Amino acid sequence: GQNIDQPTEMTATEGAIVQINCTYQTSGFNGLFWYQQHAGEAPTFLSYNVLDGLEEKGRFSSFLSRSKGYSYLLLKELQMKDSASYLCAVRGDSNYQLIWGAGTKLIIKP
């Protein structure tokens, strides 16, 4: 079957760094997405990885290892507004449909 695993909840301190991991087992791989979702809102796009390595975009970075079926989202200089759920999604065999993880709820404390 197809499966995406990520931690249910994480807690971090304002100003710190946090890494959210995502592991996947899918039939085929055509890219991995990270989305941020605040409560009651639709997800917003954060990053897209299709090749191995680290993609840096401001305070957020995303890493992919296809051989390990593993990705992480790294958030630096955490701000209170970063409190949200972070969804990992993989594009498997289909070019359009995504397989979604359940999301990681990130709680930022002062």
Which residues, at least 6 apart from 10, have a Cβ–Cβ distance to it below 8 Å?
Answer: 18, 20, 104, 105, 106, 107
Residue of the chain from 75, 78, 90, 103 that contacts another protein (CB under 8 A) = 103
16 versus 107: smaller Cβ distance to another protein: 107
Strand partners, 4: 24
The yes or no reply on residue 92 touching another protein (CB under 8 A) is no
The yes or no reply on residue 48 touching another protein (CB under 8 A) is yes
33 versus 72: smaller Cβ distance to another protein: 33
The yes or no reply on residue 19 touching another protein (CB under 8 A) is no
65 versus 97: smaller Cβ distance to another protein: 97
How far apart are alpha carbons 71 and 23 in whole angstroms? 6
Token couple for 60: 């957020």
SS3 label, residue 50: coil
Residue of the chain from 24, 43, 104, 106 that contacts another protein (CB under 8 A) = 43
Number of chain residues interacting with another protein (CB under 8 A): 18
Output the CA–CA distances (angstroms, integers) from residue 63 to 38, 40, 94, in the order listed. 22, 27, 22
Give the residues lining the site for another protein (CB under 8 A). 33, 35, 40-45, 48, 87, 95-98, 100-103
